[in-house]
Amino acid sequence: MERGKMAELESLETAAEHERILREIESTDTACIGPTLRSVYDGEEHGRFMEKLEARIRNHDREIEKMCNFHYQGFVDSITELLKVRGEAQKLKNQVTDTNRKLQNEGKELIIAMEELKQCRLQQRNISATVDKLTLCLPVLEMYSKLREQMKSKRHYPALKTLEHLEHTYLPQVSHYRFCKIMVDNIPKLREEIKEVSMSDLKDFLESIRKHSDKIGETAMKQAQQQRNLDNIVSQHPRISGGKKSKKEVCASSDLEVPGAQDLVDFSPVYRCLHIYSVLGARETFENYYRKQRRKQARLVLQPPSNMHETLDGYRKYFNQIVGFFVVEDHILHTTQGLVNRAYIDELWEMALSKTIAALRTHSSYCSDPSLVLDLKNLIVLFADTLQGYGFPVNQLFDMLLEIQDQYSETLLKKWSGVFRNILDSDNYSPIPVTNEEIYKKIVGQFPFQDAELEKQPFPKKFPFSEFVPKVYNQIKEFIYACLKFSEDLHLSSTEVDDMIRKSTNLLLTRTLSNCLQNVIKRKNVGLTELVQIIINTTHLEKSCKFLEEFITNITNVLPETVHTTKLYGTTTFKDARHAAEEEIYTNLNQKIDQFLQLADYDWMAMEPGSKASDYLVDLIGFLRSTFAVFTHLPGKVAQTACMSACKHLSTSLMQLLLEAEVRQLTLGALQQFNLDVEECEQFARSGPVPGFQGDTLQLAFIDLRQLLDLFIQWDWSTYLADYGQPTCKYLRVNPTTALVLLEKMRDTSRKNNVFAQFRKNERDKQKLIDTVAKQLRSLINSHHS
């Protein structure tokens, strides 16, 4: 029962599925029916489906037949109408055929014309296309022609611009043409050619500025000099109409126009080359090459010629080249963007500064002419001012100038040494005679001298000093002026200038002038008159030192009382020279005395003395009198010292003459003659040859001789031996050794010349007495030594 129900359900499901499939077949497009049919064959009831399908077909056939039967009469009527239309259609066809034949016959000419028109239109289109293509190509060809023309005329930067336009604007529009490809392939070669040619122009430019550096530097230094002059004119110009002239007005009136570096050198090659390399993407290569080449040129410029120190032009050319080099670099720095930078310039300047200073130190050391050193200093200052105007630091140059200042001082000292020598050698060492008021005022104007007594004296009269005093004084002032000239424009303070002048002047006084005076004083042929005049001259020069102090103060405006102000050592210099002259007078007098004493010709064996002093001694005393008469203008102490020194030397020399070993024997008569000469000396001392001695002070120079001669002539041995060693002894100045030597000389004479004296009692007694005295003298000598 249940099985039957299940079979019935399955049959119903199958029938429903087949119905769905049939509907899909009826409604589905034929192209998509495949999947539907597959579903039928996938099942097991396709036989039953086929039965249903045939039943459905039969149903549709019956419906068609019913529909045809319903419309059949209309169909028959339509056929009848169609038959009628066919006849009419045949007639129309014939007419159309005939009309077509006629139209074809008539349109043959038109077709031919149309073919011709078509051909013309085709040609017109081709021509138009050709014109369009030529319109694109001609600018390319024109641009290429323009490029070649620019290359030929060496207008490389415009050529590069043209090349850029050609490559990026024109060629891309016609890139499919073969000639364009040739152009494109040629562009790198053209760029390289432009690059090489522009580099060649740069090399020419570098060579040009190397040659023109001298002229550029000369021009720049002229500008700096004129600017300095202009500043001086502006600062010193007096006020007119309540105000100063403007700098512009002074400049216009002075006509200070000078061409600059850009007027002397064409910088366009370096600009073009820089632009070209920048466009080509090789700017860094260009910058490195430019800087490398300029460094090489800088080293060449900074190498001074070996003979640079010989003339100022040598230094000037050296400075011009350096200034020219850096003026060009400064111009490049400010007119290009980054070709050179401040760090590169500073590096070059540091190198230049060190090499320049080293060269100047070396070459200036060869210079012995102070005028050249001064000109060199002015040139260095101008050099420094010029470069400072372009922003370069120059403090080291001014520091180096202070070193050259020391050298300048040395050259001045050497020059003034010759000046002083000429003055001293040409001087007559006589007081300056004055015959009228004009000459008197002239001398007083040259040298600060005031003497009320001399002014009251009538003409003719004489200054106490000789001509070398005003000459030396004026030359010292000239030296100070020369020192001052060097300090100008060194940016030194008044105190620094004052200190520099004073130190140099001290060297002039203590070294140069002092040596010259010492040489004059020490030379062999100098006379006493000259020495006396030198003492007088140095005394007046010493007094003038305060006026030199005032002179320096006036030109530097630095008071002597200022802290750290150097004092002049002139007083010491002239005192030393005067002392040397005094010593030389003493030495000279002694030498003269020695020369007279060489003329002494004593007869040591004379039995009787002469009636007067020896001739040589009389001449010697006469010389001393005339000499000391010249000492009237000397300071009293100097004259007294000279006189005392001469008398002492005379006394000592006479004593040595009496006691010298060559005189082995002497008689009492010879001793008495010698006593006459000593009395002559004592008479000279008593006469007061030089004022100022008190009492018999000068006679004391001969006291040793006097006591010795009195002892022997008076034969007062008992007194001598009895009082020896006591402060009140009559013969206190007689040394027992001296007495013994002289006694031995007399004893030998007694023995040899008095052969028969032993037969005379008096002579024998005298001989015994001599022996006794000699023995006692030896005893005194021994006791003194012990």
pLDDT tens-digit series, residues 748-775: 565 555 444 444 556 667 778 888 888 8
The predicted structure's pLDDT at residue 338: 80
Rounded to whole angstroms, the Cα distance separating 328 from 207 reads: 13
* DSSP H helices in 153-257: 156-165, 178-236, 247-254
Rounded to whole angstroms, the Cα distance separating 768 from 745 reads: 15
Q: What is the pTM of this model?
A: 0.67
Give phi and psi for 425, each to the nearest 5: -70, -35
The proportion of the chain whose per-residue pLDDT surpasses 90, expressed as a percent, equals: 11
Check: CB of residue 602 under 8 Å from CB of residue 665.
Answer: no
Check: CB of residue 315 under 8 Å from CB of residue 379.
Answer: yes
The proportion of the chain whose per-residue pLDDT surpasses 70, expressed as a percent, equals: 87
- Tokens 């080509």 belong to 280
Check: CB of residue 292 under 8 Å from CB of residue 199.
Answer: no
Rounded to whole angstroms, the Cα distance separating 294 from 493 reads: 39
Bridge partners (DSSP) of residue 195 are none
Q: One-letter amino acid identity for 502?
A: R
The predicted structure's pLDDT at residue 489: 82
Side-chain half-sphere of 230: how many Cα atoms within 13 Å? 18
The predicted structure's pLDDT at residue 666: 87
Q: In the chain, helix, strand, coil percent, each to 5?
A: 80, 0, 20
pLDDT in tens, 377-421: 899 899 898 998 888 998 898 888 888 888 888 899 999 999 999
Cis peptide before 448 (omega within 30 of 0): no
Name every residue whose Cβ is closer than 8 Å to that of residue 630 and which is 6 or more positions away in sequence. 528, 529, 532
What Cα–Cα distance (Å) separates residue 139 from each residue in 132, 148, 174, 177, 628? 12, 14, 10, 14, 120
pLDDT in tens, 593-618: 999 989 888 888 888 888 888 899 99
> Where does the pLDDT of residue 254 fall: very low under 50, low under 70, confident under 90, or very high at 90 and above?
very low
> Where does the pLDDT of residue 362 fall: very low under 50, low under 70, confident under 90, or very high at 90 and above?
confident
Give the chain's end-to-end CA distance (angstroms, integer). Answer: 192
Rounded to whole angstroms, the Cα distance separating 420 from 194 reads: 73
Rounded to whole angstroms, the Cα distance separating 135 from 742 reads: 146
What Cα–Cα distance (Å) separates residue 764 from each residue in 665, 749, 760? 19, 14, 6
What Cα–Cα distance (Å) separates residue 703 from each residue in 46, 691, 699, 708? 191, 20, 7, 8
475 has pLDDT over 90: yes
Rounded to whole angstroms, the Cα distance separating 754 from 773 reads: 19
Q: Which of 464, 465, 438 is nearest to 453 (CA)?
A: 464
The predicted structure's pLDDT at residue 25: 79
- Mean pLDDT taken over the chain: 82
Rounded to whole angstroms, the Cα distance separating 351 from 562 reads: 41
